[in-house]
């Protein structure tokens, strides 16, 4: 049988090299050159085009090529009864936590301000800081959010976490459910979004949410662009209610050339690089699920379609 990789952003040669050592006798094909469609029983996908899965009549498993699965639910074309799995990867977790800590500490250390002073040749020490005096909110307490929250608490920050369902993390004040969102956000000096994107979390960071956060707070979004209503964010920045934002993800990617976010004085942005899928780290997990699928064994990291993650 065969596996098809449906992703325009991946190096098929690297995946073939890895799978050759992990799955002897299984051919890896690259969309749209799928050969005989009936031979494909597993798809590895990232932002598959609409209708791609319907062209694979013997598909038995879909693997999201990332920790998020929102890209699979963009279209109403998932084959009924075919299980979906996602990646839960230590490398991606480490990357994401490092990104969040870098954004939080860069803000706290006023590095953007010092860069501006450096450009003007000015020696201008700013007020001292203490991590213990800063309140950091983490939205989403799954594999990524939990690790970031734990590490931030370990650095001495007061950390507040929010999730759909109850969670317990030592050293982190945890909230759950939409009714508690405003309460959780209220005292935060910085808010880090690490939520899964679902129909429930789409646009969750809107004008109402920004109004709940204390004036002068800072937003970090490294989850999905769909969590933030960009027009509301710009309004909160321009009014001064929010003092700045670090954004790694956007409603449309790549970010449009005419987006006001590019040159907004209160925004620092990166091109969706906070947690990148690395072949050498993820191929083994995908190959293990293929072996489990063919052996009729329980799969790793199965997605609940009703929850969309």
| Catalytic positions, written as ranges | 224, 272
Phi, psi (degrees; rounded to nearest 5) at 208: -65, -45
d(C-alpha 294, C-alpha 6), whole Å: 20
What is the edge-to-edge ordering of all strands in the sheet holding 267-269? 172-176, 158-163, 135-139, 190-193, 217-221, 242-247, 267-269
Q: Which residues contact 119 (CB under 8 A, 6 or more apart)?
A: none
């Amino acid at each position: 049988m065969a596996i098809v990789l449906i992703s325009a952003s991946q190096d098929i040669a690297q995946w073939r090299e890895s799978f050759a050592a992990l799955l002897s006798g299984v051919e890896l094909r690259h969309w749209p050159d799928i050969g005989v469609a009936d031979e494909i029983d597993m798809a590895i996908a990232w932002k598959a085009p609409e209708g791609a899965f319907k062209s694979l009549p013997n598909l038995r498993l879909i693997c999201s090529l990332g920790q998020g699965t929102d890209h699979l639910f963009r279209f109403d074309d998932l084959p009924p009864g075919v299980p979906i799995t996602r990646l839960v990867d230590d490398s991606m977790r480490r990357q994401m936590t490092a990104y969040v800590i870098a954004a939080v500490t860069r803000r706290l250390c006023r590095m953007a301000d010092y860069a501006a002073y450096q450009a003007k040749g000015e020696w201008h020490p700013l007020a001292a800081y203490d991590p213990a005096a800063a309140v950091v909110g983490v939205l989403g307490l799954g594999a990524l959010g939990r690790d970031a929250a734990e590490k931030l608490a370990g650095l001495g920050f007061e950390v507040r976490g929010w999730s759909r369902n109850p969670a317990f993390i030592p050293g982190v004040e945890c909230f759950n459910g939409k009714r508690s969102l405003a309460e959780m956000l209220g005292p935060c000096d910085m808010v880090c979004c690490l939520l899964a994107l679902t129909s429930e979390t789409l646009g969750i960071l809107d004008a109402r949410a920004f109004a709940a956060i204390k004036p002068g707070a800072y937003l970090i979004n490294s989850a999905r662009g769909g969590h933030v209503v960009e027009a509301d964010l710009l309004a909160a920045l321009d009014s001064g209610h929010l003092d700045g934002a670090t954004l790694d993800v956007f409603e449309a990617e790549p970010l449009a050339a005419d987006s006001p976010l590019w040159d907004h004085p209160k925004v620092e942005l990166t091109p969706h690089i906070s947690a990148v899928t690395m072949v050498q780290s993820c191929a083994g997990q995908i190959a293990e699920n293929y072996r489990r699928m063919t052996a009729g064994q329980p799969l790793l990291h199965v997605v609940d379609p009703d929850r969309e993650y």
